[in-house]
Amino acid sequence: MRYGFVIDQDRCIGCHACTVACKEEHNVPIGVFRTWVKYIEKGSFPDTSRHFGVLRCNHCDNAPCIEICPTTALFRRPDGIVDFDGSRCIGCKSCMQACPYDALYIDPETNTAAKCNFCAHRIELNLEPSCVIVCPTQAIIAGDLDDPSSKASRIVATQKTLTRKPQKGTEPKLYYIGIDGDLLQPTKIQQPSSHLWSEKQAGERRYDADQNRLGIPSNGNGSAASSQPREVYDVAHPAPWGWKIAAYLWTKSIASGLLLVAAFLIAFGHNDKDPVLSTLASGVATIFTALTAMLLIIDLKRPARFFYIITKPNLSSWVVIGAYLLILYGALAFAWFLDAMLTGGVSRTIVFATGPAAVACACYSAFLFAQARGRDLWQSPLLFWHFLVQAVVAGSVSLRLIAAAVGTIGVFVPVLDKVTALSLLLALTMMTIEVSTPAVGEDVRRATGVLTSGSLRWWFWIGAVGFGAMAPIAIFCVNLDPPLQEQARVAASILALGGVFIFEDLWVRAGQAVPLS
């Protein structure tokens, strides 16, 4: 049994009865939607046409939201319905990033995620979903796609149907008849600065300002060119992740990078009794690991439920795997600190255990972002190496700052300066490759365009590339008088740390800039 929807857009009149019925049936708050009707217009006045698209959860057979949900709050029922248990949700918003269809939202009253659940409570009573029974033109058909006698199954088997983003491999069970193909491909639709009946909210305009710079036709006043398909009504889909996620990536880079670089220096013969490499590095790493965990918790919509990741885990989610790796690394960092405090040095067992744990802690986010399958920019195969290099940059410059703060210029510092310069060069090279490699899809092209020539371009070129990478590389590669050189390299270390944060923030923002629906 596999329940699915067929929506006949030839019958749809855009009346929003399905939206209203859904809101009433599920007490959906104002401002969020389980199902909604999007309008686009095509042509030039007076030869224009309006097209409707009913959008909602696709109840995918290979649902990425289920895979990424850390507490199994999202699950696939035996009848194929992708349902949701709000009592298990921690509000991490990962499911919103994994869904390619913008089908999930955060309920402002419960602070948990929510979406269309096929009116599962009605299905269990042999009743049809509320949107089906209220549609005045019978444009919405629900049924068992595995039952050859059901109307939905017969339509899918005998008529030409379309699904949204089949290339994502989600195997959606929402089929369309007679829909304008552009409605299912948001990158083909122009986004004017206002809707049919209202101005857009600030969160909805995040991509509009970039259209001209990215080569998207416009009529010159911020509205879309009249000859292009243009959005005239949609609901708001604000970006789920903000500065807290960028800050978490930054603090994690510092925490993991500190002991990764320290372990490297000790493994190659530097003194493990040096306080910078022993107590100070591990103490700061422990503090930044705790800050990383704190940022992750406060970013949850239900932070009091953070322990569900331990007590109700979905072991296929990299949110859970990452939490376990963070805990492991934090424990090893604290063990390093205690060993240094008690013995004055660090045992080789702890050093060689912490190195791989630091790499895992630094890089697990690449797999987490890969599970966010709705965001094409984050599917880059270079992301693992990007996080590793950023951790080495953050760790090496943090060690440099710690050494300068305590006034100790140990024998490891010249080697550390070379590691810093090399890692900065690698980071710059990686940034260049990531934004210059031909895009594998339109979403990636546009998201990269937002970074390099759109609204984020000044922060990218001047902040991340200029002051965050090129300036520190130049400073670490030149020889100055000793007092001036030390001051310059401290300043370069601060710039490099700032560059790491700026790039992480830009990467998070650009990945969410391109609309999904």
113-132 pLDDT per residue, tens: 999 999 999 999 999 999 99
Same domain for 117 and 253? no
Residues 44 and 170 in one domain: yes
In a domain, 218, yes or no: no
Q: Assess contact for 65 and 82: CB atoms under 8 A.
A: yes
4 and 174 in contact (C-beta within 8 Å)? yes
- Give the span between the Cα atoms of 467 and 499, in whole angstroms: 7
Residues 285, 170 within the same domain: no
147 & 274 share domain: no
Residue at a domain's end among 185, 203, 227: 185
The kind and range of the H/E element at 175 are strand 174-177
Residues 66 and 173 in one domain: yes
| Same domain, yes or no: 180 and 254 | no
Please tell me whether residues 369 and 436 are part of one structural domain: yes
Of 165, 185, 205, the residue that ends a domain is: 185
CATH of the domain at 368: 1.20.1630.10
**The pLDDT of residue 499:** 96
280 and 396 in a single domain? The answer is: yes
Pairing of strands 3-8, 174-177: parallel
Q: Would you say residue 431 has pLDDT above 80?
A: yes
Q: Is residue 390 part of a domain?
A: yes
Q: Is residue 431 part of a domain?
A: yes
Is a pLDDT exceeding 70 seen at residue 201? no
- The residue from 157, 185, 213 where one domain ends is 185
Kindly state whether residues 324 and 464 are assigned to the same domain. yes
Which of 66, 68, 70, 101 has the alpha carbon at shortest distance from 84? 66
Q: Is the dihedral of CA 215, 220, 221, 227 positive or negative?
A: negative
Q: Give me the mean pLDDT over the 482-511 stretch.
A: 93
Over the stretch 392-407, which tens digit does the pLDDT of each residue have? 999 999 999 999 888 7
Q: In Å, what is the CA distance from 125 to each residue of 77, 79, 122, 130, 166?
A: 16, 14, 5, 13, 32
Query: In terms of domains, do 295 and 169 share one?
Result: no
The CATH number linked to 7 is 3.30.70.20
Residues 378 and 462 in one domain: yes
The answer to the question of residue 231 being in a domain is no
pLDDT recorded at residue 517: 87
Q: Which two tokens stand for residue 103?
A: 């089908």
213 found inside a domain? no
Each residue of 127-169: pLDDT tens digit?
999 999 999 999 999 999 999 999 999 999 999 999 999 999 9
In a shared domain, residues 280 and 131: no
User: Does any domain span residue 81?
Assistant: yes
Query: Using 50, 70 and 90 to split pLDDT, how confident is the model at 221?
Result: very low
Higher pLDDT, 410 or 428: 428
Q: What is the pLDDT of residue 12?
A: 94
Q: Which two tokens stand for residue 331?
A: 């424990």
- How many domains are there within the chain? 2
- Catalogue the E-assigned strands of 365-495: none
Q: Give residue 137's domain range.
A: 3-185
